Chain A
Amino acid sequence: SAVISQKPSRDICQRGTSLTIQCQVDSQVTMMFWYRQQPGQSLTLIATANQGSEATYESGFVIDKFPISRPNLTFSTLTVSNMSPEDSSIYLCSVEDLSLAGGSTDTQYFGPGTRLTVL
């Protein structure tokens, strides 16, 4: 199983600033994913990040607000830009698990999340 770490684990930021969240995996993976989970809510997929290509964003999320980097097969960053209190959430990265039969995107390992509070 993959081991995923995220930095920072939590942060409190002022509105109008930006925060970059790092996601590190202990093995090489093709696909990485970024999710947002607002307090008491389910997870919402922000984007899919493949190494060597532009991230693919879901409806409601744009690159200017959530730029993503994927410089190699073990690392990715998500930046939350020009933050407002509505961006207060937990941000999670995940990677696919190729060991199971269900397909690469059905089974994922998740990081511990980054809890962001915007004042």
Chain B
Amino acid sequence: LAKTTQPISMDSYEGQEVNITCSHNNIATNDYITWYQQFPSQGPRFIIQGYKTKVTNEVASLFIPADRKSSTLSLPRVSLSDTAVYYCTYNTDKLIFGTGTRLQVFP
């Protein structure tokens, strides 16, 4: 089973940049790295996906080093509404969720 490791929780203040790093040492050559966001009482929501180097969309950036054994989700200038749990995942066969990182944004 795919195993990921990320910090259990992080705190930030509005307007700051938040970086959440996830390790995935057993990632295979064909696997993409995908991050999800989950608010209370909702299902997870896709944020961003990447294979290598850097990917950016309107919500976040994803940095993946050359060895692909880790990835960093970057949220620029967070707001209170970014308070959520963030999961990194990888696996082309099954989608396995790790513990996730609970981000709390303070005013």
Residues of B within 8 A of A92 (CB): 43
Interface status of B81 (Cβ within 8 A of chain A): no
B87–A102 contact, CB under 8 A? no
Question: Closest CB of chain A to B53's CB: distance in Å?
Answer: 14
User: Provided the pairs A45-B96, A106-B32 are in contact, do residues A113 and B91 lie with their beta carbons within 8 angstroms?
Assistant: no
Residues of B within 8 A of A111 (CB): 43
Interface status of B99 (Cβ within 8 A of chain A): yes
Residues of A within 8 A of B89 (CB): 106
Q: In whole angstroms, how far apart are the Cα atoms of A109 and B90 in the complex?
A: 15
Contact for A103 among B41, B44, B45, B92, CB less than 8 A: B92
**B residues touching A (Cβ–Cβ < 8 Å)?**
30-32, 34, 41-46, 49, 51, 87, 89-100
B46–A108 contact, CB under 8 A? yes
Closest residue on chain A to residue B44 by CB atoms: A110
**A residues touching B (Cβ–Cβ < 8 Å)?**
4, 33, 42-45, 48, 58, 92, 94, 97, 100-103, 105-113, 115
Residues of A within 8 A of B42 (CB): 112-113
Question: Closest CB of chain B to A12's CB: distance in Å?
Answer: 16
Residues of A within 8 A of B97 (CB): 42-44
Closest residue on chain B to residue A102 by CB atoms: B32
Residues of B within 8 A of A102 (CB): 32, 34, 49, 51, 92
Question: Closest CB of chain B to A113's CB: distance in Å?
Answer: 5
Contact for B41 among A42, A108, A113, CB less than 8 A: A113
B32–A101 contact, CB under 8 A? yes
User: Provided the pairs A42-B98, A43-B97, A101-B32 are in contact, do residues A106 and B91 lie with their beta carbons within 8 angstroms?
Assistant: yes
